[in-house]
Amino acid sequence: MALKPVSNESLRGRVAASIRESILDGSLPPGAKLTEPELARQLETSRGPIREALRDLEQEGLVRSQAHRSVRVVEITREEVLEVLVPIRLVIEEYAFRRALTHLTASDFETLDSLVAEMEGVAAAGDAEALGDLDVEFHRFVIDRAGQEQCAQIWRSLQPRIRAHFRKEQKTQRLDDVVDEHVLLLDALKAGDDQLVVERVREHVMTFPSHHQGEVPA
């Protein structure tokens, strides 16, 4: 197990990000035991931020606390993702994207245009990790604009496990497909057509498994 040291800036979040990335890239496989002393040694920090970060990651469903303060990386099965998490995501996004139509402003569309432009740039550069981050940010932005915090919280709780699963399975990447799907989503939002928005969301989310079984980032 090898983790990168972090600076003191936003320590809790940076510690969580470092451990999360090691889970996503497979450096910390399912079942791996995480101990505060060892994590603190590798990340060159005190045990307090480690403990806080592990709590955050447990809320995301990436680790699980066990007896005697033992923490292990959770296994994320294909069945759970495809039969439970993705369908829940679909329900949330269909509702949130449709509701967001009455809340998105001209400034919001400028932000979404910028995100898609960034996606095009990182896709051209072959940066799958950055594209995955922008993909998540695009959806998070629209869902937040729906103004339903409970939906946003549930979506945020699902996303790390979905992304961890598909990061694990990816082999080849068709990054342009990810960009194209978000262009279509954005065009539907700009058209203000709630039926078209729902269709585009469903196409995107329900083709999500076939794309992400080794082709593109979550």
175 contacts 128 by C-beta, under 8 angstroms:
yes
Both 171 and 190 in one domain: the answer is yes
Both 58 and 151 in one domain: the answer is no
Both 101 and 120 in one domain: the answer is yes
Tens of pLDDT, residue by residue over 112-161, are 999 999 999 999 999 988 898 899 999 999 999 999 999 999 999 888 88
- Strand, helix or coil at 44? coil
Confidence at residue 76, expressed as pLDDT on a 0 to 100 scale: 84
Q: DSSP string spanning 108-137?
A: HHHHHHHHHHHHHHHHHTT-HHHHHHHHHH
pTM for this one?
0.77
Both 62 and 92 in one domain: the answer is no
> Does a structural domain hold residue 41?
yes
> Does a structural domain hold residue 217?
no
> Does a structural domain hold residue 186?
yes
Question: Would you tell me how many other CB atoms lie within 10 Å of the CB of residue 67?
Answer: 5
Tens of pLDDT, residue by residue over 164-192, are 877 766 544 588 998 999 999 999 999 99
Both 151 and 67 in one domain: the answer is no
Both 15 and 116 in one domain: the answer is no
73 contacts 32 by C-beta, under 8 angstroms:
yes
Domain boundary among 73, 94, 116: 73
What b/e sequence results for 136-155 when a residue is b if at least 16 CB atoms lie within 10 Å of its CB, and e otherwise? bebbeebbbbbebeebbebb
Domain boundary among 73, 104, 122: 73
Both 25 and 44 in one domain: the answer is yes
Q: Give the distance between the most distant pair of CA atoms in the chain.
A: 55
How far is the C-alpha of 212 from the C-alpha of 92, rounded, in Å? Answer: 19
Which has the higher per-residue pLDDT, 167 or 48? 48
Structural domain harbouring 87 = 78-212
The domain tally of the chain equals 2
Both 29 and 103 in one domain: the answer is no
> Does a structural domain hold residue 6?
no
Question: Would you tell me how many other CB atoms lie within 10 Å of the CB of residue 113?
Answer: 12
Burial class (CB in 10 A: 0-12, 13-18, 19+), 46: exposed
Confidence at residue 110, expressed as pLDDT on a 0 to 100 scale: 98
Domain boundary among 73, 91, 106: 73
Q: In the structure encoding, which two tokens stand for residue 148, read together?
A: 């339903």
> Does a structural domain hold residue 218?
no
Confidence at residue 210, expressed as pLDDT on a 0 to 100 scale: 42
Find, among 74, 139, 132, the residue nearest to 112 by Cα: 139
